[in-house]
Structure 1
């Protein structure tokens, strides 16, 4: 069952359709909004499209670093198994 949500990110309304809960969608949208506002604060001349791309780059960087750490932890656990 898909749910429809409306969220605000950096002053724009977006309609999201998905299986996730409303709380989760709000959390994701809030994270993106927070990243965009943080970048805009330090770079006030950037337009919305550039802010969105830089936010995507920053979020992806964080994700990939966490993924790498997770994989390293899994390898440590696997190596520690008898």
Structure 2
């Protein structure tokens, strides 16, 4: 950790090294980089003819799709919990 409160580390993603800087823990940044690396390897294995840029964009699209689906599920769960809480208050 540096004096500015940010963590810095070098990660390898799809054969390239990147310097990450952020307030997240080093472990978290490693997990994120590892996930991107794994997603790029998965896409590359499915189509060896894609260049690195296309693999990166497809990985971003896949990860964004996962994020939006999880966000939608989360919002639905919050809605259900709020309805349950309202029912509980109104029945009490």
Which bracket does the TM-score occupy, shorter chain normalised? over 0.9
| Consecutive unaligned residues in structure 2, runs of 5 or more | none
Q: C-alpha distance in 1, partners of 2:26/2:79?
A: 35
Whose Rg is larger?
2
Question: Which residue of structure 2 lines up, in the alignment, with residue 2 of structure 1?
Answer: 6
Matched residue count: 82
Q: C-alpha distance in 1, partners of 2:65/2:47?
A: 19
Q: What TM-score do the two structures reach when normalised by structure 1?
A: 0.97
1:47 aligns with 2:51: yes
1:24 to 25, 28, 34: 28
Question: Which residue of structure 1 lines up, in the alignment, with residue 80 of structure 2?
Answer: 76
Q: Which secondary structure state, in structure 2, belongs to the residue aligned with residue 57 of structure 1?
A: helix
More relative contact order, 1 or 2 (CA 8 Å, 6+ apart): 1
Q: Which secondary structure state, in structure 2, belongs to the residue aligned with residue 38 of structure 1?
A: helix
Q: Deviation of residue 44 (structure 1)?
A: 0.5
Moved over 6 A (4+): none
| Consecutive unaligned residues in structure 1, runs of 5 or more | none
